Amino acid sequence: EPEVTQTPSHQVTQMGQEVILRCVPISNHLYFYWYRQILGQKVEFLVSFYNNEISEKSEIFDDQFSVERPDGSNFTLKIRSTKLEDSAMYFCASSQQGSTEAFFGQGTRLTVV
Protein backbone atom coordinates (compact mmCIF):
# COMPACT_ATOMS: atom_id res chain seq x y z
CA GLU A 1 0.00 0.00 0.00
CA PRO A 2 1.43 3.40 -0.93
CA GLU A 3 2.44 5.58 1.97
CA VAL A 4 3.90 8.95 2.80
CA THR A 5 7.46 8.65 4.06
CA GLN A 6 9.35 11.18 6.13
CA THR A 7 13.03 11.49 6.91
CA PRO A 8 14.69 11.69 9.29
CA SER A 9 12.52 10.18 12.02
CA HIS A 10 14.32 12.24 14.62
CA GLN A 11 16.55 15.29 14.23
CA VAL A 12 18.41 17.19 16.89
CA THR A 13 19.70 20.63 16.01
CA GLN A 14 21.23 23.60 17.76
CA MET A 15 19.24 26.77 18.16
CA GLY A 16 19.81 29.10 15.24
CA GLN A 17 20.65 26.34 12.80
CA GLU A 18 18.71 25.63 9.64
CA VAL A 19 16.91 22.33 9.28
CA ILE A 20 15.24 20.68 6.34
CA LEU A 21 12.61 18.05 6.91
CA ARG A 22 11.93 15.76 4.02
CA CYS A 23 8.83 14.02 2.81
CA VAL A 24 8.01 11.78 -0.11
CA PRO A 25 4.27 12.03 -0.75
CA ILE A 26 2.24 9.32 -2.45
CA SER A 27 3.17 9.44 -6.10
CA ASN A 28 -0.15 10.36 -7.72
CA HIS A 29 -1.13 12.90 -5.09
CA LEU A 30 -1.21 16.57 -6.00
CA TYR A 31 -1.82 18.31 -2.68
CA PHE A 32 0.78 18.42 0.05
CA TYR A 33 0.67 19.58 3.64
CA TRP A 34 2.79 20.10 6.70
CA TYR A 35 1.49 19.91 10.26
CA ARG A 36 3.13 20.42 13.62
CA GLN A 37 2.46 18.89 17.01
CA ILE A 38 4.16 20.32 20.05
CA LEU A 39 4.55 17.66 22.74
CA GLY A 40 1.29 17.09 24.57
CA GLN A 41 -0.69 19.37 22.29
CA LYS A 42 -2.87 18.89 19.27
CA VAL A 43 -1.78 18.61 15.67
CA GLU A 44 -1.79 22.02 13.98
CA PHE A 45 -1.96 22.86 10.30
CA LEU A 46 1.05 24.74 8.96
CA VAL A 47 0.76 24.95 5.19
CA SER A 48 -0.82 23.47 2.10
CA PHE A 49 0.91 23.32 -1.27
CA TYR A 50 -0.44 22.72 -4.75
CA ASN A 51 0.85 23.31 -8.25
CA ASN A 52 4.24 24.42 -6.94
CA GLU A 53 2.92 27.13 -4.72
CA ILE A 54 1.54 27.65 -1.26
CA SER A 55 -2.25 27.49 -1.19
CA GLU A 56 -2.78 28.43 2.43
CA LYS A 57 -0.63 28.90 5.49
CA SER A 58 -1.40 29.34 9.15
CA GLU A 59 -0.15 32.10 11.42
CA ILE A 60 2.46 29.68 12.71
CA PHE A 61 4.06 29.53 9.25
CA ASP A 62 6.06 32.74 9.47
CA ASP A 63 9.07 33.91 7.48
CA GLN A 64 11.30 31.36 9.17
CA PHE A 65 9.46 28.58 7.38
CA SER A 66 9.48 27.68 3.71
CA VAL A 67 8.37 24.72 1.64
CA GLU A 68 9.61 23.40 -1.63
CA ARG A 69 9.05 20.60 -4.07
CA PRO A 70 12.56 20.43 -5.48
CA ASP A 71 11.88 17.51 -7.79
CA GLY A 72 9.04 15.22 -8.77
CA SER A 73 9.02 13.25 -5.57
CA ASN A 74 10.22 15.22 -2.55
CA PHE A 75 8.42 17.85 -0.52
CA THR A 76 10.50 19.69 2.04
CA LEU A 77 9.94 21.98 5.00
CA LYS A 78 12.80 24.31 5.87
CA ILE A 79 13.17 26.20 9.10
CA ARG A 80 15.82 28.86 8.60
CA SER A 81 16.89 29.67 12.12
CA THR A 82 15.46 27.25 14.62
CA LYS A 83 14.19 28.33 17.99
CA LEU A 84 13.64 26.22 21.08
CA GLU A 85 9.90 26.48 20.56
CA ASP A 86 10.21 24.85 17.15
CA SER A 87 10.78 21.55 18.94
CA ALA A 88 7.84 19.41 17.89
CA MET A 89 6.73 16.51 15.77
CA TYR A 90 6.28 17.53 12.16
CA PHE A 91 3.91 15.58 9.97
CA CYS A 92 3.72 15.64 6.20
CA ALA A 93 0.54 14.63 4.39
CA SER A 94 -0.69 14.37 0.83
CA SER A 95 -4.01 13.94 -0.92
CA GLN A 96 -5.42 13.32 -4.35
CA GLN A 97 -7.19 15.81 -6.55
CA GLY A 98 -10.70 16.35 -5.22
CA SER A 99 -10.23 14.11 -2.19
CA THR A 100 -10.93 15.14 1.38
CA GLU A 101 -8.82 12.31 2.77
CA ALA A 102 -5.18 13.05 3.46
CA PHE A 103 -2.53 10.43 4.15
CA PHE A 104 -0.04 11.20 6.87
CA GLY A 105 3.58 10.24 7.25
CA GLN A 106 4.99 8.93 10.52
CA GLY A 107 6.47 12.28 11.43
CA THR A 108 9.86 13.78 12.15
CA ARG A 109 10.60 14.62 15.74
CA LEU A 110 12.61 17.84 15.80
CA THR A 111 14.47 18.70 18.97
CA VAL A 112 16.10 22.11 19.17
CA VAL A 113 18.72 22.42 21.90
Partner 1 sequence: SQQGEEDPQALSIQEGENATMNCSYKTSINNLQWYRQNSGRGLVHLILIRSNEREKHSGRLRVTLDTSKKSSSLLITASRAADTASYFCATDAWAGGFKTIFGAGTRLFVKA
The residues of the shown chain that bind partner 1, judged by CB under 8 A, are 30-33, 35, 39, 41-45, 48-50, 55-56, 89, 91, 93, 95, 99-107, 109
Residue positions counted in the chain = 113
| DSSP sequence for 30-83 | -EEEEEEE-TTS--EEEEEEETTEEEEE-TT--TTEEEE--SSS-EEEEESS--
CB 75, min distance to partner 1, A: 12
Minimum Å distance from CB 106 to partner 1? 4
Least distance CB 16 / partner 1 (angstroms): 25
